[in-house]
Amino acid sequence: MEDFTYYCPTKIIFGKGTENKVGKEISEKKILLHYGGGSIKKSGLYDKVIASLQNVGIEYVELSGVVPNPRISKVKEGIEICRKQGIAFILAVGGGSVIDSAKAIAAGVPYEGDVWDLFIKDIPIKNPLPVGVILTISAAGSEASPSSVITNETETRKLHIRSDLLRPKFAIMDPELTFTLPKFQTASGIADMMAHVCERYFTNTSSVDLTDKLCEATLRSIIRNAKLVTNNPNDYEVRANLMWASTLAHNGLLGTGREEDWASHMIEHEISAFYDVTHGAGLAVIVPAWMKYVYKQDLERFAQFAKEVWGIEAASKEEAALKGIEEMKIFFREIGLPTTLKEMELDNQKFGEMAKACTERGEVGNFVKLSPADIVKIYELARE
Ligand code: NZQ
Ligand code: ZN
């Protein structure tokens, strides 16, 4: 096991009706209320949030319209508003996209230059505004993560910033808020959480038995509840288990003491950047293709994945490894996700260009270090 510092200060407020307490969690008197395209109005959540803020006399300025794969232009709008109006707190109500947009605004307000600099240069994040979250989708794990992933729409780039200072102050998580999710969004979220665990599970670090078992248990629980949620979208317990899994999959706990990989995410982010696809659906295509490309690096680990996560045993480790990967694809298909680029109907596939953009800062991944040529091969494996 490697040395590590684990710091995850986000206060989790989990359960039915917890969104009604949001006003009490905020000490600032004027905030930015940040949300997406309207699902929070349709579900009635917006009215509850406003009532809770008004109850404690918090003034709010609204900035809505965050889109999936959130844009830097919206971030810049938010920075302007916060500066002009002297706002010192951001409340993100939504999913990963809204939370990431809020974090980027938070980081950008005190930074004097162009906020995109923070994404392309190694500039440390200093004194970001505090961010609070009301989560409406179990997926990205941004509610407790240190990262923000933003798309620069004019440059066709999707890049991230990362700092423990960006971890939200609190995350309000009411599983009932996820009942209204369309089936495809629920499934994409499931693939994203599973990918977050896999990025940590496939490691060359030895003697990490405890976190191996935590990863396997988290994956098994996600799979079990994913199979139930399709026919029971309003089952509180099923939604609750998925919601907590989204946080645990990505708050850093499962990666403690291990070298993490993250190649699949880097490779998928280029698909999102070039084609504006749903992140989790992109991962359902890329993770199995990545696995097929790298499994020989550690047959033992892949056979363990097949056995402990999918219940597969086979005559040889290689056979088990391949069956485990295939089982994951079958599962993604069962929950309604694409598993090939062809199914995603991406025309004009620019594999070379995407691989080049992906490796702009050098090879990606740690389990196996990948060059642009490797990444092109992974896109090709993902094609059909
Ligand atoms: O905009 P609205 O109308 O709210 O609709 C959203 C959006 O269209 C809808 N939605 C959310 N909650 C809903 C709902 N619809 C009905 N009922 C609800 N309760 O779902 C759509 C997708 O929302 P989005 O926020 O994009 O989903 P997700 O949480 O999957 O976030 C994806 C983004 O997070 C990034 C991804 O790259 C992607 O941009 N990630 C962020 C990470 C982080 N910060 O740590 C890590 C992840 O690996 C990921 O990269
Ligand atoms: Zn992800």
Q: What is the pLDDT of residue 24?
A: 98
| pLDDT at 19 > cutoff 80 | yes
Rounded to an integer, the average pLDDT of 186-200 is: 98
Q: Please state, rounded to an integer, the average pLDDT across all residues of the chain.
A: 97
Burial 310-337 (b: 16+ CB within 10 A, else e): bebeeeebeebbbbbbbbbbebbeebeb
Q: What is the pLDDT of residue 141?
A: 98
Q: What is the pLDDT of residue 218?
A: 98
- Using the atom order of ligand 1, give the atom closest to the CA of residue 185: 20
Give me the residue spans of the domains in the chain: 11-177, 183-383
Tell me the pLDDT tens digit for each residue of 334-378: 999 999 999 999 877 799 999 999 999 999 999 999 999 999 999
Q: How confident is the model at residue 58 (pLDDT cuts 50, 70, 90)?
A: very high
| pLDDT at 205 > cutoff 90 | yes
Rounded to an integer, the average pLDDT of 278-300 is: 98
Q: What is the pLDDT of residue 232?
A: 96
Residue in this structure with the two tokens 């288990």, named with its chain if needed? 241
One-letter amino acid for residue 361 of the chain: R
Q: What is the pLDDT of residue 60?
A: 98
Q: What is the pLDDT of residue 347?
A: 72
Q: What is the pLDDT of residue 240?
A: 98
- Using the atom order of ligand 1, give the atom closest to the CA of residue 178: 19
CA dihedral 3, 248, 331, 184 (to 10 degrees): -130
- Ligand 1 center to residue 57 CA distance, Å? 29
Ligand 1: which residue has its CA nearest to atom 15?
A: 181
Cα–Cα distance for residue pair 91/98, rounded to 1 Å:
10
Q: What is the pLDDT of residue 294?
A: 98
Helices 183-201 and 279-294: crossing angle, nearest 10°?
40
Q: How confident is the model at residue 286 (pLDDT cuts 50, 70, 90)?
A: very high
- Ligand 2 center to residue 315 CA distance, Å? 33
Q: What is the pLDDT of residue 293?
A: 98
| pLDDT at 320 > cutoff 80 | yes
Q: What is the pLDDT of residue 267?
A: 98
The sign one gets for the Cα dihedral 108, 111, 115, 118 is negative
Q: What is the pLDDT of residue 346?
A: 85
- Ligand 1 center to residue 107 CA distance, Å? 20
| pLDDT at 206 > cutoff 80 | yes
Cα–Cα distance for residue pair 372/264, rounded to 1 Å:
13
Pocket test for ligand 1, best of 49, 71, 279 (most atoms within 8 A of CB): 279
Ligand 1: which residue has its CA nearest to atom 43?
A: 142
Q: What is the pLDDT of residue 84?
A: 98
**Percentage of the chain exceeding pLDDT 90:** 98
Pocket test for ligand 1, best of 100, 153, 247 (most atoms within 8 A of CB): 100
| Burial of 64 per CB tally in 10 Å (0-12, 13-18, 19+) | middle
Question: Could you tell me which CATH class the domain 183-383 is placed in?
Answer: mainly alpha
What would the CATH number be for the domain defined by 11-177? 3.40.50.1970
For ligand 1, which residues put their CB under 6 angstroms from it? 36-40, 43, 68-69, 94-98, 100, 136-137, 139-142, 145, 147-149, 177-178, 180-181, 185, 189, 192, 250, 265, 279-280
Ligand 1: which residue has its CA nearest to atom 28?
A: 96
Q: What is the pLDDT of residue 348?
A: 72
Rounded to an integer, the average pLDDT of 187-215 is: 98
Which residues on adjacent β-strands are paired with residue 30? 59
Rounded to an integer, the average pLDDT of 133-158 is: 97
Token pair in block for residue 346: 């991406």
Which residues on adjacent β-strands are paired with residue 161? 148
The predicted model scores a pTM of 0.98
